[in-house]
Amino acid sequence: MTNSSYAQLMAGISEGQKADLNLGMFKAYDIRTRSAKLSATLARRLTIALGRYVKEILNCESIVLGRDARLAAPALMESAIEILPEMGLSVILNPLQTSTCQFYHACLKNPKSAAVMFTASHNPGDFIGLKLLGPGMVTLAMDSGPGGGLTGILAYYLQGGDIPMAKGGRGRVEIRRYLDSFIDYSMRLAGVKPGSLAGVSILADFLCGAAGTEVAEAFGCAGARLRTRNLVPDGYFPVGDPNPIIPRSIQPTWDLMKKGGYDFGFCFDGDGDRMDIMDSKGEQLAPSFNLSVLGPEILRYFRTVFKDEPFAPQMYSDVKSNPVAMADQAAGGLGVHIIRNGHSFIKEALRVNFPVQYLFGAEESAHYYMNFPLDIEDPAKGFAALENTLYFTLLTARMWATHPRRYDLAMARQNSVVRAREWPCHFLDEGLMEDVMTEVETAFRARGLSVFTTMEDGSSLDATLMRKGLPEIIDAKTDLTRPWYQVAQRISRSEEGMMRWEVVASDEAGCREAVDAIREITDPYVARGAARYE
């Protein structure tokens, strides 16, 4: 196999071949497609390509498989446990649906194995996908990872061919379930002891996704009074798309929270790696403000990890992060760094930079990331940059139950500014999106905004961050008393034809100015049928 880049591989492929082979499923950070486009023939071809990559590039002898509740996932897993052992790979799996974070814990327990999770996260029910890891929980993305990561798998996929028989015989298939281990690990790391949340009233909506069992069991052990909604996994997602930021999916739970009786609440996406937080009034608290509360407690653990060197903790925030929260985090002793969106990219950055104390981060879409210890009691065994939403859920619950005033202050800080939460626009012709990005950037430059398209190290943000009245780097000394606003725009790399914007401002006038400027550009596309607001 040649070690070609994605652009080089695709250069000679006709549009007809792209459609026939469904090459659009190879995204920047994972594989994702509508289930109807991944026929049994193409799924077999993809699984063989994956097996060859794991054997020939990663030099692995085993692979961990997981799946969530999506209707297309069982057939893909069944096919994989037929094909991959024929290629000589031993397969470790739980055949039942699990969250992606529980799957990551299985990887933590099998660090020498490659891994694949069959999921499409928060996408509608007719989507399916694959999230992939190499040994050591190294994330695989396009042009990132051994042999190019996803690009290497794409190269084998383009080659095609039947199953290469293994000389050493068929691999084993082993069932290993880690639910109890996952709950125990998450509770211990979060400092939540059995019975310690007694009397705390919590509402949780799982949107018929895969996280309900682990969260409900953990809170039950902790003694919380938990009311669940949409607990039973159902790949039809009957209450709406499994995305906690879509109002029509989550509105009934918001309404229930507003009626009172709960101290706080949580909403999860389809594969349980996103966790939205609600206060007792049903108002969402953004992840950046939640991390302002959780940060000092997380640092308490890492001080012991880096006890033999000066402690200079760092964290990552995505382009949508609220400047007020970033200033608060900096005031708490953290170095705060803007990073591009994308779960694979953020986890890889955390992994690589852990030795220089890059510890955790979040995206405002409600993803939380951290360098998690392989063994809580023995940091010398190493760390892996992963998502463990159960840990962050439990830690949030503990901090809210024991320090509710801190959350009152966080909510007050959030309410001191005006936010237009990220909204999407779907373009029927994906080729229009780069033009729209340029139009928006040009419009805001004309208004005097600073436009940033790179991170601190000069690499691409894969997005645009535009600020009025704010510097590029937010720290504890940043003056937030003068009028300002911030605009973040990006092309979604996990959804087809989707652009997204978020605005946060010091006042209503600034927020309205920014939103109107964007809509002046996108409304005409919608009016002529070239796009639609989702």
- Note the pLDDT of residue 4: 79
Q: Is the pTM of this model over 0.75?
A: yes
Kindly report the CATH class assigned to 6-176. alpha beta
pLDDT digits (tens, 9 = 90+) for 478-511: 999 999 999 999 998 878 899 999 999 999 999 9
Q: Does the pLDDT at position 169 exceed 60?
A: yes
Residues above pLDDT 70, as percent of the chain? 99
pLDDT of residue 436: 97
Which sequence spans correspond to the domains of the chain? 6-176, 181-285, 287-413, 417-533
Mean of pLDDT values over 216-242: 97
Express each pLDDT in 400-431 by its tens digit. Answer: 999 999 999 999 999 999 999 889 999 999 99
One CATH from 3.40.50.2300, 3.40.120.10, 3.40.50.11890, 2.40.50.180 for 287-413:
3.40.120.10
Counting every residue, how long is the chain? 534
Burial of 36 (0-12, 13-18, 19+ CB in 10 A): exposed
E strand map for 308-442: 314-318, 335-339, 358-363, 367-373, 383-386, 418-427
Q: Which CATH architecture has domain 181-285?
A: 3-Layer(aba) Sandwich (3.40)
Average pLDDT estimate for 345-374: 96
Query: Do 6-176 and 417-533 show the same overall fold?
Result: no
Helices (H), strands (E): how many in the chain?
A: 16, 23
Per-residue pLDDT averaged across 295-323, rounded?
Answer: 96
* pLDDT for res 495: 80
User: Residue holding tokens 């407690």?
Assistant: 297
Instruction: Match domain 417-533 to its CATH number in 3.40.50.2300, 1.10.10.10, 3.30.310.50, 3.40.50.300.
Output: 3.30.310.50
pLDDT at residue 1 tops 60: no
The region of weakest confidence among 42-56, 99-113, 161-175, 326-340 is: 161-175
Q: Which pLDDT score is estimated for 496?
A: 84
Average pLDDT, the chain: 95
State how far the Cα of 266 lies from the Cα of 254, in Å rounded to an integer: 10
Q: Is 91 helix (H, G, I), strand (E, B) or coil?
A: strand
